[in-house]
Structure 1
Amino acid sequence: MDWTQLPLGPLQTNCYILSNDEKECIIFDPGAEGESLVAWLKQNGLKPLAVLLTHAHFDHIGAVEQVRQEFHIPVYLHKEEEEWMENPALNGSARFELGEVKARAADHLLTNEAALTIGSFSFRLFHTPGHSPGSISYFFEEGNVVFAGDTLFMGSIGRTDLRGGNHEQLLKSIHNHLLSLPEEVIVLPGHGPATTIGDEMDSNPFLNGF
């Protein structure tokens, strides 16, 4: 298994491609630059199986339609944000001067913390609200990585001033779910460089007291 980080769009939102030896892959948060992303996937001979969204803010869903239509694959999202894909006021794009973003509703709505298996890829799901009400972190144990979206960053945490954000809830999500993972687990955030659970426990100023 291998993962690749592809920062996309004006906010440089991290799209991640998780692939196996058979060239099958999962796409996390295709946020923008759909044509370039599709071209990259084809150039690398990859066969996408699904799109997994950590949440439905506009900068994480901007290329969903191009990827979904090109490869005919399903999109997964937490039920708490069921209406966000189609609504610029909910997904935040109406607030910023970057153009409204819309996509068709997700094909599969996730409602609980459980296991999710797609092809040969198996994930543990953590509902980690706070940055947004439907934020999900996907723990891929085989690869020792967690796709954390905008919940936890290197040296920082997600903003909580957008619709449905809650600072206290975000800290609880990080503490109860992410910090319970082994310290060597790699955290793949929605923006910026990768980090580890151990490094954030040791040095993240927003997590003092945990």
Structure 2
Amino acid sequence: MKAVIIPVTPFAQNCSLIWCEDTMKGAVVDPGGDLDQILKAAEDQGVEIEKILITHGHLDHAGGTQELHEKLGVPIEGPHIDDKFWIDQLPVQCAKYGFPTSYAFTPDRWLEDNDKVTVGNQSFDVVHCPGHTPGHVVFIHPEARIAIVGDVLFQGSIGRTDFPRGNHEDLIHSIREKLWPLGDDIAFVPGHGDMSTFGRERQTNPFVADMNFG
């Protein structure tokens, strides 16, 4: 499995292009916008995009989803159905923040905890991690020891919970009870900023470090 990070939108959101080296089939994770950049990255790498994966319904992660779906005719998988209310608001939210026109969409597959998604011959585990949004999901590749975590966790920080239906306690539980047990060695791509590892954040992240919990 290989991946490249493509920062998109004025919020510098980490869109990921991931692909299977055996088949060169790939997926775009969180196409928030700037679709020309995403498509060029796929062309440069020789990747055939076969699906779109969504971690959650915020505009900088999902704003370009319907347009990309229409351009490529590929299915959309994710997030969890509890983020439907965010996806339905995409046109209003994008107008509010000055983003290009966006469209609501209905995924071909809503994702649940413990689901699996495939990209070429590769398989990712789905972990439902509510808190930043109620329907947020994380994609884990167990063999490659890499996770795409959206806005659940950042290097040195965690996702905001002051948006509608955000919940700080849920977010802390998602990180500590659902992500940490997967292994300190897992490297993760956050929704914004630099990569880190679960182990590093367990030691140093002031919001979720082990030392802050009895």
TM-score under structure 2 normalisation?
0.90
SS in 1 for 2:74: coil
1:8 counterpart = 2:24: no
Structure 1 residue 169 corresponds to structure 2 residue 184? no
Gapped regions of structure 2 (runs ≥ 5): none
Structure 1 distance, partners of 2:171, 2:69, is 30
Alignment of 1:191-202 (within 5 A): 191-202=192-203
Q: 1:172 and 1:95 mapped to 2: Cα distance?
A: 31
Contact 2:3 2:16 survives alignment (8 Å): yes
- Aligned equivalents of 2:118, 2:40: Cα separation in 1: 26
- Measured in 2, the distance between the counterparts of 1:99 and 1:66 equals 11
Distance, in Å, in 2 between the alignment partners of 1:66 and 1:98 is: 14
Work out whether residues 133 and 164 of structure 1, in 8 Å CA contact, stay in contact via their aligned partners in 2: yes
| Counterpart Cα distance in 2 of 1:15 and 1:2 | 14
> In structure 1, how many angstroms separate the alpha carbons of the residues matched to 2:199 and 2:72?
37
Could you tell me which amino acid in structure 1 is paired with residue 116 of structure 2? Answer: A
Give the equivalent residue in structure 2 for 1:117. 118
1:204 corresponds to: 205
- For residues 203 and 195 of structure 2, what CA distance do their matches in structure 1 show? 15
Give yes or no for the alignment of 1:85 onto 2:87: yes
List per-residue Cα deviations over 1:63-102 (Å, max 9, x = no partner).
Answer: 212321222111112111234323238x843553435532
Deviation string 1:124-149 (CA, Å, 9 cap, x unpaired) is: 11110000000001111121101100
Work out the CA distance in 2 between the residues paired with 1:13 and 1:143: 23
**Aligned equivalents of 1:147, 1:27: Cα separation in 2:** 11
Report the secondary structure of 1:117's partner residue.
strand
Cα deviations across residues 100-129 of structure 1 (Å, max 9, x unaligned)? 532321111113323333431211111100
Cα 1:180/1:154, change in 2 over 3 Å: same
Gaps of 5+ in 1: none
How far apart, in 2, do the equivalents of 1:182 and 1:171 lie? 17
Task: Find the counterpart in structure 2 of residue 104 from structure 1.
Answer: 105
Deviations 1:144-196 (A, max 9, x none): 10110000000000000111101111000001111112111001100001000
**Match of 2:191?**
190
1:34–1:62: 8 Å Cα contact kept in structure 2?
no
**2:131 aligned with 1:130, yes or no?**
yes
Q: CA deviation at 1:24?
A: 1.1
- TM-score (structure 1 length as normaliser): 0.91
**Which residues of 2 match residues 29-108 of structure 1 at below 5 A?**
29-77=30-78, 78-88=80-90, 92-93=93-94, 95-98=96-99, 101-108=102-109
Q: Distance in 2 between matches of 1:174 and 1:92?
A: 27
Question: 1: CA distance between counterparts of 2:113 and 2:197?
Answer: 25
**RMSD of equivalent CA atoms:** 1.9
Match for residue 23 of structure 1?
A: 24
In 2, the alpha carbon distance for the partners of 1:50 and 1:161 equals: 31
Q: How many residues align?
A: 209
- Closer/same/farther in 2, CA of residues 88 and 31 from structure 1, 3 Å limit: closer
Q: In 2, distance between residues paired with 1:107 and 1:12?
A: 27
